[in-house]
Amino acid sequence: MKARSFIFIFLLACFFASTANSQVAMFSGWDQFCGIRVISVSNPQGASASIDQIGPVIYADPSVLGNWSMSRVFTLAHECGHHMNGHVTPQGMWFRKTQFWATRDQELQSDCWAARALSRSKNYADLDRTIRQFASQGLYMQGNYPSGLERAQTIARCGKVNFDFTPFLPATFCATNYGPCQLFNQISKGSQCFCQTPQGQIWGIAR
CA atoms within 13 A on the CB side of 73: 18
Measured from the CB of residue 106, what is the shortest distance to Zn ion in angstroms?
7
Amino acid at 182: Q
Q: Which residues contact 193 (CB under 8 A, 6 or more apart)?
A: 171, 174, 183, 187, 203, 204, 205, 206
Q: Which residues contact 24 (CB under 8 A, 6 or more apart)?
A: 40
Residues 94-133 that bind Zn ion (CB under 5 A): 107, 110
Residue whose CB is less far from Zn ion, 40 or 105: 105
User: Which is it for strands 200-206 and 192-197: parallel, antiparallel or unpaired?
Assistant: antiparallel
Residue whose CB is less far from Zn ion, 110 or 188: 110
Number of residues that bind Zn ion (CB under 5 A): 2
Measured from the CB of residue 47, what is the shortest distance to Zn ion in angstroms?
9
Measured from the CB of residue 116, what is the shortest distance to Zn ion in angstroms?
15
Residue whose CB is less far from Zn ion, 92 or 170: 92
Burial of 111 (0-12, 13-18, 19+ CB in 10 A): buried
Best CA proximity match to 141, nearest among 132, 133, 150: 150
Measured from the CB of residue 184, what is the shortest distance to Zn ion in angstroms?
32
Residue whose CB is less far from Zn ion, 88 or 174: 88
Residue whose CB is less far from Zn ion, 106 or 195: 106
Measured from the CB of residue 134, what is the shortest distance to Zn ion in angstroms?
12
Residues at the contact surface with Zn ion, assessed by CB under 5 A? 107, 110
